[in-house]
């Protein structure tokens, strides 16, 4: 997902990003493996976050200087799609969100 129009302070807030991940994990019934990892870059940089899942991973890269975040929700099994636009507006203050879904799997 490409997330645009976010207030820079939200994109520098590890707690806001962690809350977004937690809500996605609950809504999508994902299983976390290990502890989430967060790397905070020096100013004016943002944050990179990664949560390893039994199903694959969640990752986010924020660019506060551009009001932009890239979020990946990678699952090896089909899950119910949450309202990503509403979640990202609530957690990151996103003005817009472009969701791209790519079906994955082995063709028989």
**39 in catalytic set:** no
Q: Which two tokens stand for residue 102?
A: 């790519």
**76 in catalytic set:** yes
- What does the alpha-carbon distance between residue 65 and residue 37 come to, in Å, rounded to a whole number? 22
Catalytic one of 56, 57, 66, 75: 56
- Check if the beta carbon of residue 69 is closer than 8 Å to that of residue 11: yes
Catalytic one of 4, 57, 61, 75: 61
Residues belonging to the active site: 56, 61, 76
């Amino acid at each position: 997902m490409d997330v645009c129009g976010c207030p820079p302070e939200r994109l520098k807030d590890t707690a806001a990003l962690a809350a977004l991940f937690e809500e996605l994990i609950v809504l999508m019934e994902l299983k976390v493996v290990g502890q989430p990892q967060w790397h905070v870059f020096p100013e004016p940089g943002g944050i990179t976050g990664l949560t390893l899942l039994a199903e694959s991973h969640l990752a986010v890269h924020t660019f506060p200087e551009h009001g932009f975040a890239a979020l990946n929700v990678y699952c090896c099994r089909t899950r119910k799609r949450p309202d990503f636009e509403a979640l990202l507006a609530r957690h990151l203050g996103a003005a817009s969100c472009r969701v791209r879904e790519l079906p994955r799997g082995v063709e028989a």
